[in-house]
Structure 1
Amino acid sequence: MTADAVHHLVRQPGPEGAALLWDSEEFTTEDLHDRSVRIAAALAGLAGRPVAVRVPPGPDRYAALLGVLRAGAHVVWFDTGAAGERARMILDDVRPAAVLTAGPPDALVAWYAGHTGTAPLDVTELPAAAAPDQEVRPDDWAYIAHTSGSTGRPKGVPQTHAALAQFGRWFADAFGLAPGVRVAQWVHPEHDPAICETFAALFSGATLCPVPPKIRAHPARLLDWLAETQVDVLQTVPSFARELARASDGRPQPVRRLVLMGEAISPDLVGALHAGSPDIELYNLYGPTETIAATWHRIPRGAAGPVPVGRAIPGREVLLLDDADREADEGEMVVRSPYVTPGYLRGGREGPAFRPVPGCGPGPWYRTGDRGRRRPDGLLEFRGRHDAQVKIQGHRIELAEVEAVLDGHSSVAECTVLAARNDDGLVTSLMAYVVSREEEPPQRQWRASVRQRFGDVRLPIRFRIVPGALPRTATGKVDGRRLTESRGEPVL
C-alpha cells in the first residue's frame, strides 16, 4: 500500500507558481522529480535503512529528500553549517547506509567516511537512470529526528510516512498553503518542523522558498528578503519573532501568516506583532517531536493574559493527568495518537514516557513532561516542564546533556546547569555552577567544549564557580534554590 507514501503526495503546482524558488530561479515538481529519480537509483537496495542528507539549500537538497523516500529509505537531515560533536554522535547513533552531499565532502562527512568506510554520494554527479518506486507502507519510517537526551546523548525519534503525510496535509490546510502561496523554509534541517513545513508546501502545490543561510539569523536582512520574495507564510520561534518585530522599525511584517512554535509566547510579543501588522495572522503551534505536534491556536487580536497552546490537532487527543494518572484541570499533558513515534531509535516504546494511561483506552500514548492547564473555554495553556528539559532559542535541550559535556572536562569536579528565565517565562540563558579542580578555572575551555558538542546551536551559557562542593538537599539532590540565592564567585 502506498496511499500515504510521502513522495507520492507531492503535487504539481498550478500556473500560479513553482514548487521551489531558489536564487531567483523557479523549479517545478518535475524538475525535483527528475533529480530525485537519479538519487533513488543510486540508493537502490537501501530500502528500510537510514540515509543522511547533508546538501546545501537549493533544488538538489529537496530532490535528495524525495530521492531517499522514493528508494524506500528514511531521511536523517543535516544542515551544512558548522557541525559539532553532537552531529557526530547522531551519525554514530544512526549509522546511515549512505551520506548524500553536493560537491566535496566537508569535515563531518569526511569523518563519517573514515569512521565507517561509507563513501559519500555526490548528488550533483549522478548519471541519468531509471528507478521504479520502492513499495512503501504507511507505517514505514520516513525520517529520524533527534532530541536532546537525558543521558548526555541525543535521542533518535523516527516518524512514519503516515504521520508525516497526515501532519503535512493538516499543516497545509490549517495555514492556507495552496498554489500561488509562498512558504519560507526557515527552520534548521536538524529539527523536525523543517521537514514538516517542506512537505506541507510540496503536498499543497505551494512554492517553497528556502531562506539563504547568510541572512537566516539576521532579522533586518531577513525582513527585506521576505518582502522581496513575497513570502506569505513563515514558521519561526517566538524569540526570533521578537527580533523581527524590533528590526521592522515600525513597518508591517512582510508575511500574512506567522506560525510560532518551540517556545512559550508572551502577550507583549503578540501585542507588538498585531499592533505593527494590522493584517497579520498569528498562530501558536505546540508539541513534542515524539508526536510531531499536539495542539494549535490562532491568536485573536485583543486577547489578554497568557497565550494558550490551544486545542488538539486532528488525529491527536490531549489529556491533563495528575500524579495519580487521573484527569484534572491542571497536570501533565499526555497525548494519545496513532501518530506517536514508533519509539526511540534505542529503546523503542519501552520507557516511562510511553506508559499507558489506565482506564483511558488503548494508545499509543506519549507523556510529554509538560504541565498544562485547561481553561474554562476548553483551551490549553502551557505551564512549564516537569523535568530539566528546556526550550532555548527554539532548540529543545536537556540540561543533563550540557552537564555531561562539562563533567567530561578534566578540570571539573562536579557541576549542575540551571536555566535563567525572563519575565515572560522564556529561557534566555543557561547558568553552569561548577566546582573546579583548578585554581584558575579554564572557563574558555568549558565554553569551547559546549560549542563543540552543539555546533551551530549557540547556547548562551555563563559560569559561576562554587567553592568546595555543590549544595545538596537531605535526599542528596543538588539544591538549586541555594545555588541561585548564593552570590558565590563572579559570573564568567
Structure 2
Amino acid sequence: MTTPTVLGRWADSLARNGARCAIKSGPRKVSYGELAGRAAGYRAAFEGAGRPTDPVLIATADPVEVIAAVLGCAAAGRTFAPVDPRLPAAVLDGVLAALRPGTVVADAVGREALAGRRLPDGAGIVHPETLEPRAWSAEDRPGAAPEDRGYVYFTSGTTGRPKGIRGSLEAVHHFVDWEIAEFGIGEGTTVSQLTSPGFDAFLRDAFAPLCAGGTVCVRPDDGTPVGEGLARWLTENEVEVLHCVPTLFRTLRSAALTPDSFPALRAVLLAGEQLHPSDVAWWRGLFGGDKELVNLYGPSETTMTKLFHRTTEEDAHARLVPVGRPLPGVAARVLTGPGDPQDALGEVELEVPFPLLGYLGEDEWRGTATTYRTGDLGRFRPDGTLELFGRRDQQVKVHGVRIDLGEVENALRGHPGVEDVCAAAVTEDVSTALVAYVVAPDVPDAELRAHAAQLLAPGLVPSVFVRMAAIPRTLNGKVERRSLPRVRLQRAADATRAPQGPAETRIAAIWSEILGLAGINRDDDFTLLGGDSLAIARLMDRVRHEYRVDLPLRAFLQDPTVTGLASAVTDRTARSGS
C-alpha cells in the first residue's frame, strides 16, 4: 500500500494553519502544531522500538494522547491497536495474547490496568507523561512513504475471547473523504468525540475534523455526558456535527430542549443500533429539518459507515427507519434464495472498494477479499433503500416453534408507545419462555400482547414482558444480553433488606426508574441488576441534579449498592454544607 491519504490530508491541515485548534478537551486546547509535535515524538519512539511489523498497543485514558499516538503510528508505518484501559483484566489478557504488541503506549491509568499482565518478551512501554515532542516534517523519514499497516480493533467473539478486526487507513480515508464532502466539514468545524478509544468509530470522530482543518471536541474527563449534561456540553462547545449511538441521543429527551436549543448544531449522525420512527418524530417536532438527523450503518469489519439515510418527515410515521443507500464505491446486496420474491428478507452482504483484512488469528472470515456477509437480515424497499430486520443468527426455539427474535422485536417496535425492545428466549428450571424486554412506560402488557398478536403468528407472541428504563447496550450500541435482568424481577423487597430511611428510599426509587425494576433491595448491586455504563452515567446525572452534589464516579463504584450510594451522597452533602 502507498502513503495513507488520511495522514496526508491531516498534514495538509497542519500546513495550512498550525496554530488552529485541533482538539478541545474542556478548558484545554491543543493546536495542530502541538498535536504534530506529540505525533512526531511518538513516531520517533516507535521507530526505535521493536520490529516494524510489531503492532503498538495504545492503552491510555486521554483521547488527546490516543489521537497523537495513532498519528505517530501511521507516520512510522506501524499497526496500532487502541483499547479502553478500563477493560476487565481477563479481556486485556486476551487482547495481549492475540496482538502480541512490540510497544505499548500507557499512561498512569493504562499502566495500572496492565500491572501484573504478561507482556511479550522485549515489549517496551512509552509513557505519554515523559514523551518529548519533536518537530514534524514529512521529509524526516527515509524512503518514499510509510506503509499502511492499518489498525486492529477488538470486539467480543462468540468463543468468549476478544476478536481482533483488522483494517486499513485506506478504508478510514474512504469514509472520512465522504463525510467531509457530504456534510460540509471544513476549517473551524467542531465535531464531537464521545466514542471510547476501543472502537473504530473513534477514528471517524478524530479524522473527519482533523483532515478538514476542524476541531475535535472530546468528552469530559468524568465520562460521557447524558441528558441535561449532554445538552449543556453541546451548547457550550458549539458542536456542529454530533456523532453518537441512538441510546445516548435519546437521553436528550430528559433535557428541557426548545426549538432554539443548539444554535451551532447542523447534523446528528447516529450509528451502532436501530433508529426508531419515534426518534425522528421527536427531533423533527423540535427542529423540523433544520438540524439533520442521519441514520448510518456499517459493521466494524468493513470500517465504519457503509450506508446512510437522511431522515425525512415520512420516517416519523414509518414502520422502520431505513439505513439508506451505499456510500460511493460500496455495493449492498441482500442474499436470498432462488425463486424468492424481490422484497424477501435475506442476509446483507457489503462490497467495498478497498481490501478487507479480516481477523487476527484463525477466526473465519465470512466473505472475500472485498466482501463481507454481515449476519444482518434486510431487504430493499421499492425506492432502493435498505431496511434492516435484526440478526440472521437471532433464531431460537420455544416449545418447538422456530422464532426469529428480530421479527418479534420489529413487531413490538411498531407500537407508538414502545421506545426500545429486546426479545430473548429465557430458560428457568426446565421451561423456556419468549420474553420481551421493553421500554414502554405508558403501555399495559395486555395492549402490547394484543398488538403483537395482530402482527405475529401464534407462538411468536411474548408470554412475559419485562419493563426496562433502557435496554443495556455496549459502548458501540449493540444489546448487551448478559446484562439483561432475570425474568423473576417483580419481587417484593424483603422486609429485612428493604431500603431504610429517606435517602435509601429515594435512591432505590431512582434505580427503579432507570433500570425499570420493582422491589429494589438496599444491598442490591446496580451493575448486577443490568446497569450498564450508560445507565451508570444516567444515575450519576440524576444524583447530581437531585442532591446538588458532585459525586465522583469512583465513590459509587467502590460500593455500587443502594446503601453505599445513599451513604456517599449523605456524606458528600454534609461536607458541602447543603
TM over 0.5: yes
Aligned residue type for 2:483: P
- Equivalent position SS for 2:161: coil
Do the aligned partners of residues 169 and 2 (structure 1) sit closer, same or farther apart at CA in structure 2, a change above 3 Å counting?
same
CA contact (8 A) 1:291 1:340 kept: no
2:174 aligned partner: 166
- Equivalent position SS for 1:201: helix
2:306 aligned partner: 294
1:313 aligned partner: 327
Larger radius of gyration: 2
Which moved further from structure 2: 58-67 or 255-264?
A: 58-67
2:269 matched to 1:259?
A: yes
Deviations 1:56-92 (A, max 9, x none): 3353332111112112112211234454532332222
Deviations 1:215-269 (A, max 9, x none): 5143211210110011111111112211112324546552321001011111011
CA contact (8 A) 2:268 2:291 kept: yes
2:152 matched to 1:108?
A: no
- Equivalent position SS for 2:60: coil
Which moved further from structure 2: 197-206 or 43-52?
A: 43-52
**Distance in 1 (alpha carbons) for counterparts of 2:257 and 2:334:** 41
Deviation at 1:300, TM superposition (A): 1.8
> Counterparts in 2 of 1:220-239, with a 5 A limit?
220-239=228-247
CA contact (8 A) 1:52 1:100 kept: yes
2:23 matched to 1:20?
A: yes
Match among 476, 486, 492 for residue 463 of structure 1? 486
**Distance in 1 (alpha carbons) for counterparts of 2:302 and 2:102:** 26
Deviations 1:34-73 (A, max 9, x none): 1111111111154233111122335333211111211211
CA contact (8 A) 1:263 1:426 kept: no
- Equivalent position SS for 1:106: helix
1:275 aligned partner: 285
The alignment covers a number of residue pairs equal to 416
Do the aligned partners of residues 324 and 44 (structure 1) sit closer, same or farther apart at CA in structure 2, a change above 3 Å counting?
farther
Aligned residue type for 1:12: S
- Equivalent position SS for 1:100: strand
1:343 aligned partner: 358
2:390 matched to 1:384?
A: yes
Do the aligned partners of residues 429 and 235 (structure 1) sit closer, same or farther apart at CA in structure 2, a change above 3 Å counting?
farther
**Distance in 2 (alpha carbons) for counterparts of 1:324 and 1:134:** 56
Q: Could you say what the CA RMSD is over the residues aligned between the two structures, in angstroms? A: 3.5
Structure 2, unpaired ranges of 5+ = 397-404, 431-471, 489-527, 530-578
Deviations 1:71-129 (A, max 9, x none): 21122112344545323322221121111123475332223356756342102212355
Aligned residue type for 1:8: G
Match among 371, 378, 384 for residue 377 of structure 2? 371
Do the aligned partners of residues 219 and 110 (structure 1) sit closer, same or farther apart at CA in structure 2, a change above 3 Å counting?
same
The answer to which structure has the higher strand fraction is 1
Q: TM-score, normalised by structure 2?
A: 0.64
2:95 matched to 1:90?
A: yes
**Distance in 2 (alpha carbons) for counterparts of 1:74 and 1:66:** 11
Aligned residue type for 1:333: V
> Counterparts in 2 of 1:47-446, with a 5 A limit?
47-57=52-62, 59-81=64-86, 83-103=88-108, 105-112=110-117, 118-128=123-133, 132-133=140-141, 140-250=148-258, 254=262, 255-278=265-288, 279-292=290-303, 293-303=305-315, 304-305=317-318, 306-323=320-337, 328-329=342-343, 330-339=345-354, 341-347=356-362, 351=365, 353-354=366-367, 364-388=370-394, 421=409, 423=413, 426-428=420-422, 433=427
CA contact (8 A) 1:187 1:193 kept: yes
**Distance in 2 (alpha carbons) for counterparts of 1:52 and 1:229:** 31
Deviations 1:132-158 (A, max 9, x none): 347687983321112321222222111
**Distance in 1 (alpha carbons) for counterparts of 2:423 and 2:31:** 43
Aligned residue type for 2:299: P
Deviation at 1:201, TM superposition (A): 1.4
Aligned residue type for 2:4: D
Deviation at 1:175, TM superposition (A): 2.4
Aligned residue type for 1:236: C
The answer to which structure has the higher helix fraction is 2
Deviation at 1:19, TM superposition (A): 1.4
Deviation at 1:387, TM superposition (A): 0.9
Aligned residue type for 1:268: S
Do the aligned partners of residues 58 and 260 (structure 1) sit closer, same or farther apart at CA in structure 2, a change above 3 Å counting?
closer
Do the aligned partners of residues 230 and 370 (structure 1) sit closer, same or farther apart at CA in structure 2, a change above 3 Å counting?
same
2:459 aligned partner: none
Match among 26, 30, 33 for residue 30 of structure 1? 33
**Distance in 2 (alpha carbons) for counterparts of 1:103 and 1:207:** 26
1:404 aligned partner: none
**Distance in 1 (alpha carbons) for counterparts of 2:109 and 2:383:** 56
**Distance in 2 (alpha carbons) for counterparts of 1:136 and 1:280:** 44
CA contact (8 A) 2:380 2:386 kept: yes
Q: TM-score, normalised by structure 1?
A: 0.75
Structure 1, unpaired ranges of 5+ = 357-362, 390-398, 400-417, 437-450, 466-490
Deviations 1:430-471 (A, max 9, x none): 7764669xxxxxxxxxxxxxx9x99x9976322359xxxxxx
User: Which of the pair has the greater relative contact order for Cα pairs under 8 Å at 6+ separation?
Assistant: 1
- Equivalent position SS for 2:332: strand
Deviation at 1:308, TM superposition (A): 0.7
**Distance in 2 (alpha carbons) for counterparts of 1:364 and 1:138:** 23
**Distance in 2 (alpha carbons) for counterparts of 1:69 and 1:107:** 26
- Equivalent position SS for 1:111: coil
Deviation at 1:321, TM superposition (A): 1.3
2:52 matched to 1:44?
A: no
**Distance in 2 (alpha carbons) for counterparts of 1:151 and 1:461:** 20
**Distance in 2 (alpha carbons) for counterparts of 1:136 and 1:72:** 12
**Distance in 1 (alpha carbons) for counterparts of 2:110 and 2:362:** 32
Deviation at 1:186, TM superposition (A): 0.7
**Distance in 2 (alpha carbons) for counterparts of 1:136 and 1:167:** 25
**Distance in 1 (alpha carbons) for counterparts of 2:244 and 2:4:** 27
Do the aligned partners of residues 388 and 74 (structure 1) sit closer, same or farther apart at CA in structure 2, a change above 3 Å counting?
farther
**Distance in 2 (alpha carbons) for counterparts of 1:125 and 1:325:** 65
- Counting aligned pairs with the same residue, the percent is 29
Aligned residue type for 1:460: S
1:448 aligned partner: none
